[in-house]
Amino acid sequence: MNSFDVSMLLSGQYHDWLVSGFALSIKLTLITLVIALPLALLVAVLRLAPLALLRAVGVVFVEAIRNVPLLAHMLFWYFGAPEVLPESLKAWLYERDVEAASAVIALVLYTAAYMSEDIRSGIRSIPKEQMEASRALGFSFLGAMRLVILPQALRVTVPPLIGQTLSLWKNTSIAMVIGVAELMYQAQQVESASFRGFESFAFATGAYLMISLVITGASAWYHHHHPVRSA
Amino acid sequence: MMSKRLMLLVTGALALVPLSSAHADQLQDIKKKGELVCGVLGTDEPFSFIQNPASRAIVGYDVDLCNAVAKSLGVKTTLKQLAVSARIPELQQGRVDLLAASLTHNKEREALIDFSLSTFITGQKVMVKKQSGITRLDQLAGKKVLTVKGSTMEQSIKKAVPTAVIVSFDNSPQAFLALQQGKGVAYVNDETSLIDDASKLGPVAKDYEILPQNLSTEHFALGLKKGESAFREQVNKVLRDLEASGEAEKLFTRWFGPATKMKFPNRPFKLETDKID
């Protein structure tokens, strides 16, 4: 085809589309992260809870989500799940940005399932005698978790959590199947409107790479400044 | 892209082959040999298709137009089934006299062949649920409109209703499902696809409606070898006569009318022009 036209990436309508897709991808990542982290922590604690029923809830959540592809989650939360809502609520929801909302739900659950496993590993890396000692000193299970175990465990967990954030950033691209106008969606739009596929996907690739490198850099920085201490 | 390149290659190679005899006039030649060879697809219902697998006969709207031209010349029709990409080369090589093969008339092709008057004009349209109360395109302003990604549909709806919020999906079943679920008020596709989609709904199809306005138009025409002006004039005369006698209307009703699968309530065009947008 023709030569690489950088100017269309720097200004004009196609530039605007790509930038808006980029901004939406970042927004999806941040919103998902903010909701998924506490949820992941909750699930991790559930899986280590003294009650068998609570542990079972945690196991079911993690396994049900991790064993289904993200693409299927997206399609389910967009085409399937909202259909069981009552008519009035459905109409209210569908007038809004149900595409982005469904994408966030799918990404939150998917990311939380993986993050909870990382957090659980972190907690298990703290010798179990610490929990036993805390309980012997009169702490409740939650008290011991909050004051003794988690502060140490979360420190160990930060590098894998940054890794999950990197996956999350890349996973936002799947939202395009349910019509969310994120970066990959916009890159395709630009391609079909202008036949400038090379330029638009170069922009998308560059953008994913840039943010991914920033996330990787954050991981390296953390590792350097907060090395894992042996417990 | 590929087929276009292939086509150019074939036509380029042909240009090197000297024609055995200079055609004085294709019209006279057709009369002399006593047959009009029409190139058809045979796979595109209801334009040209095999209705009855036992007889293998190709019938359809395009075929009837061919027959009308042959009849006016007092010759018999011979149908030749062609692949989509082979249409223009076969015509240029003179293996067929006339293309009646769901052929879209566009500017790029005018450099290669001539076109008759438009024989079928269709377009991209908008489907809505009847209960939405939407009857005109401008009522879509600010509303969610669903369509298929990577298509020219997105551009045509954007052009027709600049404020519409367009949500695109990977394929048309997904976009149509989103319309059924009420995730948008309208669904854009070409008219034949819309009719096909609606027909799959069964009895519920009556709850849906296709707005009459076209977002973009596509003109089908008969294809002729370049520069055969006498033959072209003859073909156009046949088409104009079909229109004048009401025969064109009957043909349309036979293949696209309310009693057919296509269920067009009326004919949105006439056989009168070879102008394209």
For residue A98, what are the contacts with CB-CB under 8 A and spacing of at least 6?
Answer: A78, A82, B183
How long a stretch of residues is chain A?
231
Residue spans of the domains in chain A: they are 7-225
| Alpha helix (H) residue ranges in chain B | 2-15, 26-33, 61-73, 87-92, 107-110, 152-160, 172-180, 191-199, 229-245, 247-256
Distance from CA of B255 to the nearest CA of A (A): 33
**Contact across the interface for A179 and B181, Cβ inside 8 Å:** no
Q: Which of B150, B170, B177 sits opposite A177 (nearest CB)?
A: B170
**Contact across the interface for A188 and B149, Cβ inside 8 Å:** yes
Residues from chain B contacting residue A82 (CB–CB below 8 Å): 181
Closest residue of chain A to B144, computed from CA coordinates: A95
Distance from CA of A36 to the nearest CA of B (A): 26
Report which residue type is found at B56.
R
- Specify if B235 maps to a domain: yes
pLDDT tens, A212-229?
A: 999 999 989 988 888 876
For residue A152, what are the contacts with CB-CB under 8 A and spacing of at least 6?
Answer: A126, A130, A231
- Specify if B89 maps to a domain: yes
pLDDT tens, B85-124?
A: 788 889 999 999 999 998 888 887 888 899 999 999 888 8
Let me know whether B115 and B188 are in one domain.
Answer: no
- pTM of the predicted model, to two decimals? 0.68
Chain B residues contacting A via beta carbons under 8 Å:
146, 149-152, 154-155, 167-170, 174, 177-178, 181-183
A10 burial level (CB within 10 Å; 0-12, 13-18, 19+): exposed
Phi/psi for A4 (5° steps) reads -70, 120
Confidence of residue B1 (pLDDT cuts 50, 70, 90): very low
Let me know whether B224 and B114 are in one domain.
Answer: yes
Give the DSSP letter of residue B271: T
pLDDT above 50: residue B2 = no
Q: What average pLDDT score do residues B193-214 get?
A: 86
Q: Which of B151, B152, B168 sits opposite A179 (nearest CB)?
A: B168
Let me know whether B107 and B137 are in one domain.
Answer: no
Let me know whether B130 and B176 are in one domain.
Answer: yes
Neighbours of B276 (CB within 10 A): 16
Closest residue of chain B to A90, computed from CA coordinates: B182
What is the extent of the structural domain holding B92? Answer: 28-122+218-256
User: CB of A18 within 8 A of CB of A91?
Assistant: no
CATH of A7-225, one of 2.60.40.10, 3.90.1640.10, 1.10.3720.10, 2.40.30.10: 1.10.3720.10
Count of domains for chain B: 2
Let me know whether B45 and B115 are in one domain.
Answer: yes
- Specify if B263 maps to a domain: no
For residue A74, what are the contacts with CB-CB under 8 A and spacing of at least 6?
Answer: A102, A103, A106, A174, A175, A177, A178
Tell me the C-alpha distance between A119 and A125, whole Å: 10
Tell me the C-alpha distance between B235 and B230, whole Å: 9
Tell me the C-alpha distance between B58 and B77, whole Å: 12
Choose the mutation target among B129, B155, B183 for the interface with A, i.e. most A CBs under 10 Å: B183
Distance from CA of A192 to the nearest CA of B (A): 5
